[in-house]
Amino acid sequence: MNTAVLVLLGLTAVLGALLTAQGERARPPWGALFLAGLLALAGGLAWAGGNAPAGIEEAAAVAAVLAAVAGGGPVATAVLRAADPAAVGVSGGPQDPSILRGGAWIGGLERVAVAVTLLARSAEGLVVVLAVKGLGRYAELRAPAAAERFILGTLASALWAAACVGVAILLR
């Protein structure tokens, strides 16, 4: 059962990377739901499987970080689109990718940092990662749409990374 968790985490990472490669504007919204379903299935199997050998634990930790980074973009994009469904196609809303440019790269780095700090059991590290991200974008957050996009994207991204790492932690 633990091997199935590794396969599902790997599949989540690969499919997340494929969805990310499509670009934010062309990404299908059902992709995020599919990734979430794969992760939920992996979590259920990890919970039922229990303690795994050390090699499986380490591989699951690596796969969880990869799944967090690769799958977080499609999930965050889906959350941003769902947050403002009435204004899809209208510029200036939270779904507009021209607001807070560079967010996809920052989000990927954020998910790596969140995943690694959670695996290291460092609550302080998690606080530092999120604080640095907020301080780095502080000047841009005066616009309401930018603030909303920042909060929604950060929460979706961090929660996705935490969920991926949670699957690996369930194998301990």
Q: Inter-axis angle of helices 123-136 and 103-119, to 10 degrees?
A: 170
Q: pTM for the complete prediction? A: 0.85
Token digits of residue 8:
């599902």
In angstroms, rounded to a whole number, what is the distance separating the alpha carbons of residues 169 and 172?
A: 5
pLDDT computed for residue 144 by the predictor: 73
> Is it the case that residue 90 has pLDDT exceeding 50?
no
Q: Stretch 55-72: mean pLDDT, rounded?
A: 95
Answer for the pair 68, 112: CB distance below 8 angstroms, yes or no. Answer: yes
pLDDT digits (tens, 9 = 90+) for 91-135: 555 455 556 556 678 889 999 999 999 999 999 999 999 898 888
DSSP classification of residue 121? T
In angstroms, rounded to a whole number, what is the distance separating the alpha carbons of residues 103 and 16?
A: 17
Worst-scoring range by mean pLDDT, 5-9, 14-18, 150-154? 150-154
Collapsing DSSP to helix, strand or coil, 116 comes out as helix
Average pLDDT, the chain: 86
In angstroms, rounded to a whole number, what is the distance separating the alpha carbons of residues 2 and 60?
A: 9
Q: How many CB atoms lie within 10 A of CB 70?
A: 23
Cα 60 to Cα 1, 6, 22, 161, 168, distances in angstroms: 12, 6, 26, 13, 5
Cα 124 to Cα 23, 46, 96, 118, 128, distances in angstroms: 33, 27, 32, 10, 6
Between 91 and 162, name the one with better pLDDT.
162
pLDDT computed for residue 88 by the predictor: 47
pLDDT computed for residue 45 by the predictor: 95
Alpha helices in 22-94 (DSSP H): 30-49, 54-83
> Is it the case that residue 69 has pLDDT exceeding 50?
yes
Q: Stretch 70-83: mean pLDDT, rounded?
A: 90
Token digits of residue 106:
């920052």
Worst-scoring range by mean pLDDT, 54-63, 76-85, 148-157? 76-85
Q: Stretch 75-85: mean pLDDT, rounded?
A: 82
pLDDT computed for residue 111 by the predictor: 95
Q: Stretch 34-40: mean pLDDT, rounded?
A: 97
